Structure 1
Amino acid sequence: MVSPEASTMAKHALLRNRASLCFSDACLFLGGVLMALLLVWSFSSFAYPPSASQTLAASSSSAAAEAPPECAAAAAAPPRDSEESDNFYDDPELSYSMERPMRGWDEKRREWLRQHPSLASGEGGRERVVLVTGSQPSPCKNKIGDHLLLRFFKNKVDYCRLHGCDVFYNNVLLQPQMFSFWAKYPVVRAAMLAHPEAEWIWWIDSDALFTDMDFELPLERYKGHNLVVHGWTNLIYEKKSWTSINAGVFLIRNCQWSMDFMDVWAGMGPQSPEYERWGHVLRSTFADKLFPDSDDQSALIYLLLTQKDRYGDKIYVENEYYFEGYWEGIVGTLPNITREYEDMDRRPPALRRRHAEKASRYYAARRAEAEAEAGAARKRPFVTHFTGCQPCSGNHNQMYSGESCWNGMVKALNFADNQVLRRYGYVRPDLMDSAVVKPIPFDYPAGGDDGGGGDGGGEGAR
């Protein structure tokens, strides 16, 4: 095999020979010399490893001189998703603020998705969902408030990891004039623009948590609807109650209808010059509304009452499951629900198996089948909302004591977290003791005692 140095010297010698022959009018031999040169070059290329010859061949190009061949090839390949074309982000008039209406959002979003086809749908072809939540920008006044909010947020992050949702936590007032109940809408509006790939934006108050980590939103049910809230239609249209809907948890489609609807909805908020008037209107409309301010919940119900033909068909009032459940009626049932799930796990062997967290959806489907056989009473509540507890400020509703609020939160948070810890081999045996965990047993003892004690929070199985 010819060494690289010998090959290079041969090339130089041939070139010198070619020059002398031409100057001596012997150019008739040029063809033969060129053939010899080609033969020597081919042989020297064969002597080099492929990557070295490619590097030498590319040395005359300043763009590729420093890059390995595979990097140069990757750079030359056009990306599947491209930002090279103009889209709505390039519009200098674009505003994330609710102070300027959005026009043509469906067309803008459609064009962006055309430029980014890989982001058009989520895992398994499901519609993409972005969960949005948040809290105040300053530290909590209640001494355990920040700790509780951290655990509430951890709960949401766990759920999103298990179900393929993105999550955004906001802790600043994007539009300071929209405070209190109304602070969430600028965040939701901004999330729509930040996530054109998402079909749904899912707002969940900071004091709400998932207490069924297996359950998935039945998005197919909401085809043809743009807003999903928890409530009761008879309380809306017959009783005209301001508690007939809870606006602390809602699912809103990322589309022009939602942009327009939020403009109307927020038009009753504190940034509007009509804010005080709307407070009087809502107070006079709902006999059970005890405070004078215009709030988003009453405003939504008012729009359904007064403009049902315009909005009613696009708003889904969900009450077939705990899309948002009032905590006081739920917390006391959690120990029994835990024991019922443990009893259920003893029967089908498939539910007793240990499994990786990424396989959770498969086992959730098997569990749902077992739930259906056992009856709806055994179902965990999907979302538990601690309405009125105010974990950050501590200014809880005087209908119940602060202790019942804090204890209820601890119990619900541990109930939910046991479902997560189970996938990591541990569980809290007592729902009121957040610090103590135990390894889950390989199987239950024959007598059915899981050894957990306390509130039966074991959730233990293989």
Structure 2
Amino acid sequence: MLIPTTPSSSSSCPFQTSMASSSSTKNLRLRWNDPFFFTSSILLSFILFWTIYCFLIPNPNPNPNTFPISTTTIKNNSASALTTIGPSFYDNPTISYTTTAKITNWDAHRKAWLLSNPTLSKPLFMLTGSQSSPCQNPVGDHLLLKFYKNKADYCRLHNIDLFYNTILLHPLMFTYWAKIPLIRAAMIAHPEAEWFWWVDSDAAITDMDFSLPLHKYQNHNLIVHGWPHLVYENRSWVSLNAGVFLIRNCQWSLDFMDIWASMGPQTPNYESWGKTLKAEFSDKLFNDSDDQSALVYLLLHEKHKWVDKIYLENEFYFQGYWLEIIGKLNKIEDKYLEIEKRSPELRKRKAEKVASDANAAVREMYLREMKMRFGKEGWRRPFITHFTGCQPCSGDHNKMYSGKNCWEGMLRALNFADDQVLRNYGFKYEKVDGNESATVRPLPFGFPAA
């Protein structure tokens, strides 16, 4: 006969009985009265509560140095913030980056985009480029690299975006015509830019202080270096230069480029346009239709349609002819050193970003006080020195120049500009010339002291 037993206190039964012994109750009370046991229990409870809180409740003050793991919206007031809401022209399949499809209503499209992205608006965007293949001229690639560095230095100092293209966006629009497909594509890719600044690969910026007076052109859409009397009276194909120009990001510009490009090599009328332009301009030396002659032709024959929005800039060296500039650079440098000797402010050391704006304003004051002028008769730094006819990449320079003159002239202009940049890094060229092996020296404190 089996006699049932009463479970003991050491039983593994999962339920606690209500028959707790008096001794056990006494022990439990003693534990709660124990300071160590009480403190440990409170601490463990706090840790458990905080752990659950951290998992369930988002941190109201996240560390700015950490990355969010998952977010729906990130608010950011910086210029890089993407704030587009809803569809834009990028969702319209009829808008094309190529020159083969006409764009309409661009001003409204761009205005709507800017309203959605107000922090991204920028006044100026530089475009330039060169061929994709290596240069035929043995020193050509090296020269193009220095020309690129020159533009990159200027854009860094003036907070300008720069795009350097090395591929034909339209396979038939080669040489000087290649800029039009690039500018058109850039307008769509960068609706934040108000102006696009095309600069030929063989043009060097030789005044790192100078800023384009964009306020001056508020009623115009295309700014080209040129002279009205040479266009309308002399009817010369070199009355302006299409190697450096500003064009506004607007519908007018898109329409103008459509007409301008209609004279290019991608059209069946390319040869006939070449004959027309050669007959139009008696000083034109070759038969091909080129962008510069085409631009002058439009000013002459469609003046009523375009001229009100085109400004021919000749009040400063928007682009200067290198042959009339190179021989003056050393004298110009001496003139600017004289200004620095007179100005304690210009002799102060500054961070590059500070010096770019502050020194330019001070120097401009002295230039006006000394009545320093631009141009052949003046001693101001030329803004842009353009090596028209030198062809640094192909080496097929104009026969009126020698290759030696071209290459030495390029190096002298590039070193002249680079010297202005190096000053903010505490160095200066020993001598600004066309010597490839030119050396630099550290500047003494207070250079150039009177």
- The match for 1:237 is 232
CA distance in 2, matches of 1:210, 1:328: 15
Deviation of residue 354 (structure 1)?
1.2
The 3 A distance-change label for structure 1 pair 47 and 140 is same
CA distance in 2, matches of 1:71, 1:414: 47
Q: Does 1:391 align with 2:388?
A: no
CA distance in 1, matches of 2:448, 2:304: 59
Alignment check: 8 A CA contact 1:279 1:292 kept: yes
Percent of aligned positions that are identical: 53
Alignment check: 8 A CA contact 1:45 1:53 kept: no
Encode CA deviations 1:437-462: one digit per residue, 9 max, x unaligned.
1011223577x6xxxxxxxxxxxxxx
Deviation of residue 107 (structure 1)?
1.2
The 3 A distance-change label for structure 1 pair 400 and 72 is closer
- The match for 2:368 is 372
CA distance in 2, matches of 1:322, 1:141: 30
- The match for 2:411 is 410
The 3 A distance-change label for structure 1 pair 181 and 56 is closer
The 3 A distance-change label for structure 1 pair 49 and 400 is farther
Residue correspondence of structure 1 range 201-350 to structure 2 within 5 A: 201-350=196-345
Deviation of residue 180 (structure 1)?
1.7
Deviation of residue 94 (structure 1)?
2.3
Alignment check: 8 A CA contact 1:142 1:394 kept: yes
Deviation of residue 381 (structure 1)?
0.2
Alignment check: 8 A CA contact 1:226 1:252 kept: yes
Q: Does 1:71 align with 2:68?
A: yes
437-446 vs 310-319, which deviates more? 437-446
188-197 vs 110-119, which deviates more? 110-119
Deviation of residue 82 (structure 1)?
2.6
Please tell me the residue identity of whatever aligns with 1:323: F
Q: Does 1:191 align with 2:193?
A: no
Deviation of residue 119 (structure 1)?
1.0
- The match for 1:89 is 90
The 3 A distance-change label for structure 1 pair 116 and 146 is same
Query: TM-score, normalised to structure 2's length?
Result: 0.83
Alignment RMSD: 2.4
Give ranges in structure 2 of 5+ residues lacking alignment: 1-14, 17-41, 59-64
Alignment check: 8 A CA contact 1:227 1:316 kept: yes
- The match for 1:62 is none
- The match for 2:105 is 104
Query: TM-score, normalised to structure 1's length?
Result: 0.81
Count of residues in Structure 1 that have an aligned counterpart in Structure 2: 393
CA distance in 2, matches of 1:69, 1:382: 45
**Greater helix share, 1 or 2?**
1
CA distance in 1, matches of 2:428, 2:176: 36
The 3 A distance-change label for structure 1 pair 69 and 422 is closer
- The match for 2:175 is 180
Please tell me the residue identity of whatever aligns with 2:248: R
Query: Tell me, what secondary structure is at the counterpart of 1:196?
Result: coil
Residue correspondence of structure 1 range 44-59 to structure 2 within 5 A: 47-48=46-47, 52-58=51-57
Encode CA deviations 1:167-220: one digit per residue, 9 max, x unaligned.
000000110111122011101111111110000110000000100000000000
Please tell me the residue identity of whatever aligns with 1:184: K
Encode CA deviations 1:404-444: one digit per residue, 9 max, x unaligned.
00000010000000000000000111123444110112235
CA distance in 1, matches of 2:226, 2:448: 43
CA distance in 2, matches of 1:97, 1:77: 34
Deviation of residue 117 (structure 1)?
1.6
CA distance in 1, matches of 2:45, 2:90: 52
Please tell me the residue identity of whatever aligns with 2:251: Q
Alignment check: 8 A CA contact 2:242 2:292 kept: yes
Query: Tell me, what secondary structure is at the counterpart of 1:378?
Result: coil
Deviation of residue 328 (structure 1)?
0.4
CA distance in 2, matches of 1:51, 1:356: 48
Alignment check: 8 A CA contact 2:322 2:388 kept: yes
- The match for 1:361 is 357
CA distance in 2, matches of 1:267, 1:119: 33
Alignment check: 8 A CA contact 1:212 1:416 kept: yes
Query: Tell me, what secondary structure is at the counterpart of 1:71?
Result: coil
CA distance in 2, matches of 1:168, 1:423: 25
Alignment check: 8 A CA contact 1:55 1:69 kept: no
Give ranges in structure 1 of 5+ residues lacking alignment: 1-15, 18-42, 60-67, 123-127, 449-462
Alignment check: 8 A CA contact 2:347 2:447 kept: no
Query: Tell me, what secondary structure is at the counterpart of 1:408?
Result: helix
- The match for 1:118 is 119
Encode CA deviations 1:205-259: one digit per residue, 9 max, x unaligned.
0000100000000000000100000010100000000000000001000000000
CA distance in 1, matches of 2:370, 2:55: 72
Alignment check: 8 A CA contact 2:321 2:385 kept: yes
- The match for 1:440 is 443
CA distance in 1, matches of 2:124, 2:418: 22
Query: Tell me, what secondary structure is at the counterpart of 1:110?
Result: helix
Structure showing greater Rg: 2
